[in-house]
Structure 1
């Protein structure tokens, strides 16, 4: 019989699961991001561990999102095309089938297009009926091929429509960005769809030092709770959704927007913004941390040149002599890869370039009769989740 003086020894399971470091080791070894989300729902202690920035960086390194294929979209195309990429993932085959078949869910003459793609989700726009308004639909669960048409916004500001974007988190369905600018004055309204209801997320305005000239919708992105919009002028407009601040970020010296595909922003982890800049034979990649920004009109950017690529040396063997870099038509998160359009005459191709390995391959041939802008949206496996503690 145990005496009263005998100290209580907790079970081994409690010793393990009550140790934050050991719990972190266990969570880092789960088989998928989906399993990590389920584990994070066990208790707030596990959620705090799973949402830690250092932990998520390590988890991403061991469970990186993989490129399954890409959507090609353009004004001339009656509907997007899905192009599969070779990968050894077991689940890739089903994801490729889903991506290839989901386009058939749209009725004829609905003119579907791709607005955004991230973490296995795809946001489409389409026409509701032969002459109906533009609507949105989202592929939420790529494994099941579940696509849902989204409710229309109560009041569509058609003359101010700028972009529709997928969120950073799973609690939100999508964002809609409306922009209006006259001279130096810029007004942005962002609406959000949550639980089937549209509401205004934020309204922001500012008198910028220099008129934007034009704000480019096809290269607008959402990252880290901020919307970034490329302008014809030498800066990027940023709208902080949490503070409703609108300000401009100066571009690095020598980096300018000349035409579509010469300046493309890219999402990064830990509040990092990347930009791809194409000029002549050179492709440069810049990065800038965004977590210390404020609401100044022109924020002094601390840009760092991460990489410079000679397109002729890395991709020249894939195309005819005399081919030039036409544009950057798509990029991967964290500047992992880029899709470049290159060619000469009637032979223009999309080249996939992995920045780390410098591996390049020809993945798509452009229709010679098409002289419109095309855009590539990478379709990835599900990446590490983004947890927001205030939601729990």
Structure 2
């Protein structure tokens, strides 16, 4: 019987073809060369930043992942993920990630943890956060600067795009309460910003709303609408912008609706038995431009209403007594004396989630998953007894690499440069 040394066997092995490896490579190539199969595979990568890596493979992959129809399907399967939230405690805003997160998002979360304290100012405040852009006010004594920080930029691109000062106007005579508000709206791949002033007369039932829009670096008057409110306005009106309609909670039992497309003002009465109290109800944007959600918490019960057409529909009721009891068993820092007091701090679009304050704790409720957990605990240095929460979600759509405009590539060539 002939014997071979290990060296001879190895050399012989190198000469012999590897049928298993060859067959596997052929199978992979057959799959990846099929556009329909490739699209179905790319739809299951879960994260938009992974799509960007896929776009770097070749021009064909870039064409697939940047196709509008593909992006629409991808977003439906993988809605923008909640990465964390900015919380203003009176000592300046800080970012708190929602943990755990998959390792693929580690770099994204690190970039979201920007620190406004690095700018030369005494205090910083977050005013709005949408699609990766953080609207920030930097205050230094009586002076302040307003601008947008793009949190997910690289270190060399980070900075703040400043806004002009707020518009001045002639204050009406008499006793008035005035509330300024800043809201944003997604338009394509960009954001539009609106500055809203609500004037409420303490002597009459008149309420005037002035809407300014930031256009080409200037605050331009967009609309001025006035109406009568039969009940006293709230001390802290809340605004939600859905398409061209601004929903304002200026009264305990109704909602003022400003339709900017037709310059009209109307009123929606709240559902029977529902009224605004001390942070126990909040509006939430809906995908449907003609609808809005109302989320109310009462005696550890969460009610989710949808206003569509002219009617309110109770779409869900969540009983939270058992959730809170289980949370107390898992975390001793959730105080017993506050278990019956939940205050709504912030809600997600499409009624996806709710942030509550309960005593010294911030709780997060995933409405779809029906899960409640603690995500923040008050520190001794915090100034505020009530917090301001600004959710930070994954940016959409992803920004793909751009082909060099000075090259005439054939479809098989794969040369890219980063999008500016």
Give TM-score, length-normalised by structure 2.
0.69
Q: How many residues get paired?
A: 330
Give the C-alpha shift of residue 251 in structure 1: 0.7
Change (3 A) 1:25 1:161: farther
1:131 pairs with one of 142, 147, 167: 142
* Structure 2 unaligned blocks of 5 or more: 1-38, 56-66, 172-176, 328-333, 399-420
Match of 1:268 among 286, 291, 308: 286
Pairwise CA distance, 1:181? 1.9
Q: For 2:351, which of 318, 329, 335 is the aligned residue?
A: 335
Secondary structure, counterpart of 1:167 in structure 2:
strand
- The SS at the match of 1:65 is coil
1:66 aligns with 2:81: yes
Q: 1:26 to 1:199 in 2, by over 3 A?
A: farther
Question: Do the aligned residues in 2 keep the contact of 1:68 with 1:96 (CA within 8 Å)?
Answer: yes
Deviation per CA, 1:221-240, whole angstroms, max 9, x where unpaired? Answer: 22222222213420111212
Shift of 1:88: 3.7
What per-residue deviation string (whole Å, max 9, x for no partner) do you get for residues 338-382 of structure 1? 111124xxxx21111101111221110124675632121111012
Distance verdict in 2 for CA 1:26–1:151, change over 3 Å: farther
Please say which structure displays the higher CA radius of gyration. Answer: 2
In the other structure, the counterpart of 2:223 is 202
Report how far residue 89 of structure 1 moved.
4.7
Aligned to 1:21: none
When residues 90 and 157 of structure 1 are mapped into structure 2, their CA distance, relative to the original with a 3 A threshold, is: farther
Matched, 1:223 2:242: yes
With over 3 angstroms needed to count, the CA separation of the structure-2 counterparts of 1:175 and 1:29, relative to structure 1, is farther
In the other structure, the counterpart of 1:6 is: none
| Equivalent of residue 324 in structure 1, options 322, 334, 340 | 340
Aligned to 1:214: 234
Per-residue deviation, 1:28: 7.9
Q: 1:244 aligns with which of 263, 281, 285?
A: 263
Question: 1:304 maps to what in 2?
Answer: 313
Aligned residue for 2:414? Answer: none
Instruction: Provide closer, same or farther for how the CA distance between residues 126 and 151 of structure 1 changes in structure 2, counting only shifts above 3 A.
Output: same
- Unaligned runs of at least 5 residues, structure 1: 1-23, 39-48, 293-300, 386-392
Q: What is the aligned-residue RMSD (CA, Å)?
A: 3.4
1: distance between equivalents of 2:347 and 2:170?
Answer: 29
**Separation in 1, partners of 2:136, 2:227:** 30
Distance in 2, matches of 1:234 and 1:365, equals 33
